[in-house]
Amino acid sequence: MHKTELNYGDVYLVPRKTVVDSRKECDTSVQFGPRRFDMPLYASNMKSVVDAETCEYFARHGWFYTMHRFNVDTVAFVAGMQQKGLFASISVGVNDDTIEQLQALKDAGLTPEYITLDIANAWCVKAERMIKLVKQMFPASFLIGGNIATAEAARDLQAWGCDAIKAGIAGGRVCITKNKTGFHRPMISTVQDCAAAVTIPVIADGGIVEHGDVAKALACGATMVMAGSLFAGYDESAGEIVEINGKHYKEYFGSASQFNKGEYKNVEGKKILVEYKGRMGRVLVELKEDLQSSISYAGGKDIAALRQVDMIVVAR
Ligand SMILES: NC(=O)C1=CN([C@@H]2O[C@H](COP(=O)(O)OP(=O)(O)OC[C@H]3O[C@@H](n4cnc5c(N)ncnc54)[C@H](OP(=O)(O)O)[C@@H]3O)[C@@H](O)[C@H]2O)C=CC1
Ligand SMILES: Nc1nc2c(ncn2[C@@H]2O[C@H](COP(=O)(O)O)[C@@H](O)[C@H]2O)c(=O)[nH]1
């Protein structure tokens, strides 16, 4: 028996009566862990998307961020952010180098406000061990575990101690996991299943193409949305600028790409060029305006309204 599953492009949200006089009245802010953020959206913890400056930029703009975990001096990063009066949000892996990294933070007397355990398939014994260790070493940190794509996996990660889970397997723009392994779940179905299965926040990760996809993810029960390619083309993003025939692009590569790994081993990501779009400030404003508009179409004043709307499947 084959199940039909849905992606962002397969569905739309059904409008309700607008109750505000202006879209400006709609509140896009979200409580996520110990802090409140201006938007329920943040940039992927990938080396081609964020670096220390990008993280600082987002934090100063009231947005959540997570630093990537590749060749990062975690102690310097956490100390630097906290010395500037900003929150520290880091990523860790599942191997022994992560244990050393966590111990170094402890020895330095540092506690990051947010820790993301980042592995392609977090529904595994290695992630289970690391989630429990992180929780034991840093009980005060808000722990995000990912990625997973099923209700059963979501329930397990909650039981292991995660404070939030990140859902989305093989839906990203630079992902080749589905081609190389045959595994993938479309995002609408993934988010609906995972969000219905747990009481902790779910982050919808990957596959955002249109700004309206953010509202669709929230309508499915996501508390936060993570996106890579959406943020990869700007001055403030971490990727390099490339010029071809007088046109400018930015490099965007997967964390499991040969480029990021430095070797062709278990490669499940690729490198692409995305259009260079200049300063990031304008798109942050536009993303907020678009979400405010979504909330108004949902008939409410804040993002909770999006959970009340009906969703229709587009006939093909
Ligand atoms: N969201 C998504 O769909 C995906 C995201 N990614 C991203 O790419 C990066 C690379 O991550 P990842 O692939 O986890 O690799 P890592 O290199 O980070 O692997 C971490 C460790 O876990 C082991 N491991 C990884 N995958 C498996 C597996 N399927 N079975 C058993 N052991 C495993 C690895 O051992 P060994 O190498 O020996 O197997 C390694 O020791 C991450 O940042 C991740 O988020 C990658 C693919 C899909
Ligand atoms: N299968 C892979 N997925 C990857 C890799 N690097 C990152 N990712 C995931 O993609 C999203 C971003 O997706 P986008 O559609 O918004 O661009 C990111 O947050 C990761 O979950 C990879 O090498 N392979």
94 touches ligand 1 (CB under 6 Å): yes
Give the HSE-up count for residue 310: Cα atoms under 13 Å, Cβ half-sphere.
Answer: 7
Checking ipTM against 0.90, whether it exceeds it is yes
Average pLDDT over residues 4-28: 98
Ligand 1 atom index nearest CA of 265:
37
Q: How far is CA 196 from the centre of its chain?
A: 19
- Do residues 9 and 186 make contact, with C-beta atoms less than 8 angstroms apart? no
Task: Identify the pLDDT of residue 1.
Answer: 67
Task: Identify the pLDDT of residue 23.
Answer: 98
39 touches ligand 2 (CB under 6 Å): no
**Which residue type occupies 45?**
N
Q: Which residues are annotated as a binding site?
A: 202-225
% of residues, the chain, pLDDT over 90: 98
CA of 272, nearest ligand number? 2
Q: 164: burial class by Cβ within 10 Å (0-12, 13-18, 19+)?
A: buried
Q: Is the pLDDT of residue 191 over 80?
A: yes
pLDDT band of residue 315 (cuts 50, 70, 90) is confident
